[in-house]
Every structure is written in structure tokens, then in C-alpha cells.
Amino acid sequence: MPDTASQPVTPSARPDRGHESGHDSAHDVGHDVGTDASTVDVLVTLLDDVPTPAYAHPGDAGADLVTTVDVEIPPQGRVTVPTGVAIALPDGYAAFVHPRSGLAAKHGVTVVNAPGTIDAGYRGEIKVILLNTDVAEPVRLSRGDRVAQLVVQRVEHARFLVATTLPGSHRGSGGLGSSGGFAGS
């Protein structure tokens, strides 16, 4: 019998298909999985009874991750929440955990190390470090709430070459704030 544990589950192979169109955003890893040259197959293991990471809308960059626990984040506090998801990325790819704009705008919740980096070789559960930036109000999250977005990207490996001097550029060594853009500066 072939080993299917390391084989990607494609939409046509899924027994729980729910839409005539062949797309079920609650279960597919991505919109039009496997039919687009810009789509990469990512193996997913669900460690809890949670949905597969999914894109809310066609063309979205980030797939939603949910929390597997009920949690309260105190004012200016941080917590690490499990997502119940482990992934295997192909070599040459990384996944980045980004904050959700709605949580940030409505409740001041962000991802502390945004974006959190998931390397291709990591096989453990994805966990998200959340920070409540509100100085007065706690934020309560329930199991199944969407807490972050996972963006999968191709990444290049750099070869770092030591040089005694660097070539010139328009910006030069101008760093933080060197391009202006803030009226108070």
C-alpha cells in the first residue's frame, strides 16, 4: 500500500468536497489549488479539530489560522496561542505569520514578532505570539477565532560575501527616518 502520509491532499481527492465549483475555502489550502503556476502544495497536519488554513477570498495572500484555546490577553500583555496546525513546506519556501488587520484595528491585537517565520524544515505546531496593545481593556479570544494569517512565499538563499567596502547607492548609509515622511521631524 502506498504511503499517503506524505502526499498532499488535492481538492479532487478530498472526500468532504462541499461546493459544486470544486472549492471549499474551509478545507482547501488555497483557491484553485494545483491549477495555477503560482500555487505551491503545502502538506498540513491537523493536530486538533481545527479547519485547514484557508484563504477567505480569491487572491488573498494570507490563509487564516485559528486558536485552539480560549484565552484572555490582559492590557499590554502577550500570550502564545496554539493553532493546531503543522506544515511541511518545500525547500525554497518559508511561511510568515502576520497579524489580522481586523484584530489590530478593533482591539489593538498584533503579532509580537511579525512576521513570525516558519522555516521549510520546521515540522512542529505553529504557535502565534499575540500582544494586546490596549492600555486598559483585556481581549478575550475563543477557540476557533481567527488570530493570524499565514503567507507562504518563495525565499532565496543568500551567499554572504565579506567586503571591505560596499558599492555606493543613492541612499547611502541613511537609516531610520532618512526618507522623511513624518511632519514632526
List, run by run, the mean pLDDT of 10-residue segments along the chain (185 residues): 47 35 38 62 97 96 98 98 98 97 96 96 98 98 98 96 93 78 63
Residues with Cβ within 8 Å of residue 16, at least 6 apart in sequence: 24, 27
- Domain locations along the chain: 11-154
- What is the value of pTM for the model shown? 0.76
Q: Which CATH number fits domain 11-154: 3.30.70.260, 2.70.70.10, 1.10.357.10, 2.70.40.10?
A: 2.70.40.10
Q: Are 85 and 126 in contact (CB under 8 A)?
A: yes
Largest CA distance in the chain: 68
Question: Could you tell me the CA-to-CA distances from 120 to 17, 43, 94 in Å, in that order?
Answer: 28, 11, 5
Beta bridge partners of 88: 43
Beta bridge partners of 116: 97
> Is residue 90 reached through a cis peptide bond, with omega within 30 degrees of 0 on the bond before it?
no
Residues with Cβ within 8 Å of residue 113, at least 6 apart in sequence: 129
Backbone angles phi, psi at 71, to 5 degrees: -150, 150
pLDDT the model gives residue 109: 98
Instruction: Compute the distance between CA of residue 126 and CA of residue 79 in angstroms, rounded to an integer.
Output: 14
- Chain-centroid distance of CA 65 in Å reads 7
Cell representation of residue 70: 480560549
pLDDT the model gives residue 139: 98
